[in-house]
Each structure stands twice: as C-alpha cells, then as structure tokens.
Chains A and B, each alone.
Chain A
Amino acid sequence: DAKTTQPPSMDCAEGRAANLPCNHSTISGNEYVYWYRQIHSQGPQYIIHGLKNNETNEMASLIITEDRKSSTLILPHATLRDTAVYYCIVRVATNTGRRALTFGSGTRLQVQP
C-alpha cells in the first residue's frame, strides 16, 4: 500500500469548511484513497473513499488531483463534533492477501467555537 503524508494538526472555525490535505505520491493505478476519522476514545469511522473521480456523500467531499498524487477531504460546515483525528489511507480495494487498513498518524482536527 502506498505511503501517505498528512499534517499532524489543523484548526478550523465552527461553521467553516475544513480542508484536510493528504499526499500519496507513490499511489498505484489500482489503489483507492480512503478517509476514516477517530473521535476521542471511539473506534474509527469510515468517511469516504475514491479512485480518481471526486466523490461526495452526506459527510464530506473528496477531491483527488488529476495525477492522483494528492487529495483533499472537505468537511463543508465543520461542527464541534467533527473534532477528531482524520486518517488518509491508500490501499488496493481487492487483495486476496492482507486486507487490513494501515493507519498512520493522521491529522488532528480541532474545530474551534
């Protein structure tokens, strides 16, 4: 699985958009970009994933650059409940061997009131 690089921490004002970047310059053609988050003391929660097209769901939007070497998770209207560690994970969606997720250090997002 490709390695990812994220800033260790970010702040965002409540009600504003939170843009979390992720670099994955060694990504392969068959690797997806996944985003999970972990609110303090809870299990990780899936947010969104994509291959090369931009994706949007009820929680967030995922913007992947054309060369797929980086992506941005966008929380359109951040709330205090969005304060969490956000993990960007790059992996092959189909893998007959190891299927687990490799969690790095993530980005600690602090939403300020």
Chain B
Amino acid sequence: NAGVTQTPKFRVLKTGQSMTLLCAQDMNHEYMYWYRQDPGMGLRLIHYSVGEGTTAKGEVPDGYNVSRLKKQNFLLGLESAAPSQTSVYFCASSYEAGGIQETQYFGPGTRLLVL
C-alpha cells in the first residue's frame, strides 16, 4: 500500500512551457485535492475532485487545469508556466464514511521551479 504518490519529485520549466503533474492513490478514496505551498506559507487549494469524472475550483485555480479520468489518478496541468507558479505542489486524498469527512492523506510533494 503506497498511499499517495506524486510524479515527478522535482522539475524545472522555462516560462511558457507546459507540464502535467500526476497524483496516484491506491486507497480507493473518492476525494482528491491539489494544493500549492509557497515558502513560509500554508497550503492553498488549487482544484479538487469529489469523484471520478468530476473536478471543482479551489482557492487559487487560475493557470491550472485538472482531470480525474480514473478514480485513482488526479492530474494537474500547467498549460503555460509562469514564474509565479514556482512552488511545492501537494496532492491529497480522502474518503467519507457514514457521512463523516475523514482525514486527508498527503503525497510527498512536487517541487516546481519556473525560470
């Protein structure tokens, strides 16, 4: 049971390039999330998904797109990277049991540097 994994661990992009970050979970969780964390700050929600085929905007969605084609995968795309998107990106997943939102499990993070 690997939990939540993220690919890649580190990436350097030039301004204007595109890339996709992959998040995978093997816990059969319904809900998945993408956060970003800037230096010295807390995490901010980018997008989230409450089930396969569904996505929704979070607190800071501009410049990002997401897809949830399979229940276990949640992809975060940057179509045209900007230096302001330099950050550490965390993926998380959770489930609901008996109407109670359970805790979130986080991946190890992807460090992105946009030059």
Contacts and interface: CB of A to CB of B under 8 A. Distances in A.
Nearest to B99: A94
A103 B58 contact: no
Contacts of B92: 43-44
Contacts of A46: 103-105
Contact of B109 (A43, A49, A99, A102): A43
A104 B106 CA distance: 17
A48 to B, nearest CB: 9
Contacts of B74: none
A43 B106 contact: yes
Contacts, number: 58
Nearest to A106: B42
A85 B2 CA distance: 24
A53 to B, nearest CB: 15
A94 B102 CA distance: 9
A81 interface: no
B86 interface: no
Nearest to A91: B101
A87 B90 CA distance: 16
Given A41-B109, A87-B42, A94 B101 contact: yes
A3 B26 CA distance: 33
B109 to A, nearest CB: 6
Nearest to B56: A98
Given A43-B90, A93-B100, A105-B42, A99 B106 contact: no
B106 A45 contact: yes
Contacts of A101: 43, 45, 104
A106 B94 CA distance: 22
Interface of B: 4, 31, 33, 35, 41-45, 48, 50, 56, 58-59, 88, 90, 92, 94, 96, 99-101, 103-109
